Structure 1
């Protein structure tokens, strides 16, 4: 991730000596039970782009943390009230990241120094129906164009 133009362009907009910390989230709805009302949940995991992708991609690397486990109301895709509740929950969850992306946060690093870090939500890993729901677009929309 650190070899991409986006990273360098973002780093160049930050104050001298500060660091960009790309936040990557991953989510996938999960089925919990068939016996008590067909319950589902939506786990959101978090990792950072500063970790090498070879480590970040391995389950044994333990680089993903469970950020939140959201309950999924029945028929989430068809209920606009449930969708708006999901967006409000997401806004509350990511409020602190939004503040850190604007003001920065002093974070102690492994080498013992404190660095001014700017957290930026830079990626979300999800399947097509979930991405459609997150972006509030039709599930039959083309992922490559505006059709």
Structure 2
């Protein structure tokens, strides 16, 4: 993530000595119990983009935190992203960071859910279900 143009452009907007802390939000649908029938919950996870993905993707590293279930109210990221917040790093030093929402990670069923699109269609564009393998850009899906 830190090799992209996005990171450098956002970092350039911050005060000297501050660091961007890209916030990654991911959801996953899970069945509550084997005995509850069709009752599911959408777990919401939070990760930081400045932690390498090789560490973020390993549950044993504890780099991913469960922060709630859908529907989660607005996260307090706007104020912290604008004003910054102090955190203690692994080396014990206190630094000012700016958590900036960077990614929302979801598998196909969750993409359909959050974009209010029909399962079997593209959640990004108006591509018909019979043409999903085609990678060419199509008219983007717009929501009014």
TM-score for the superposition, normalised by structure 1? 0.75
Where in structure 2 are there 5+ consecutive unaligned residues? 126-137
Deviations 1:23-64 (A, max 9, x none): 112111111235445311111111111111111122222211
Question: Normalized per residue, which structure has more helix?
Answer: 1
Q: Which has the higher contact order (CA 8 A, sep 6+)?
A: 1
Residue 105 of structure 1 corresponds to: 85
Residue 44 of structure 1 corresponds to: 44
Runs of 4+ that moved beyond 3 A? 33-37
CA–CA distance in 2 between the matches of 1:17 and 1:25? 26
- Relative distance call for 1:132 and 1:103 in structure 2 (3 A) is farther
RMSD of equivalent CA atoms: 2.0
Paired residues, what number? Answer: 126
CA–CA distance in 2 between the matches of 1:110 and 1:142? 39
